[in-house]
Amino acid sequence: MSMHRTASRSRQRGLSFFGLIFVGLFAVAAFAIGGQSIPIFLEYVAAKKAIEKAKIESTVPAIRAAFDRAAAIDDINSLKGSDLEITKRGDKVVVSFKYAREIPLAGPAYLVYRFDAQTN
């Protein structure tokens, strides 16, 4: 009879208690970091759209003001119109920005996102 128990036990499959704890901790960490990262990426996409809309203005102060209006509407808090780099290549106006956002993880550990974009 002890042979029968050993044989049936070797066919069992599943997750051990420690495996379950590990998978659970991993899922919670991924959910927590992802929940904080999604708004940061949405803000970046909104900022890219805002500089595309603002580049059609004719002067530098008008471009900055257009970006600030779009930032107020789209809830862009990481950038202001004064943070934009506005240059001219040939006859085209190029608007660009660079910024970084941090997510505190634990103790001295941070997850840092660095964003940069420019118009064509």
- For the entire predicted model, the pTM comes to 0.81
* Average pLDDT along the chain: 92
User: pLDDT for 1-53, tens place per residue?
Assistant: 555 555 556 677 888 999 999 999 999 999 999 999 999 999 999 999 999 99
Q: Are 74 and 50 in contact (CB under 8 A)?
A: yes
* Residue given tokens 């257009």 in the structure block: 66
Give the CA distances from residue 98 to residues 44, 59, 66, 94, 116, in Å, rounded to whole numbers and listed in that order: 10, 21, 18, 14, 4
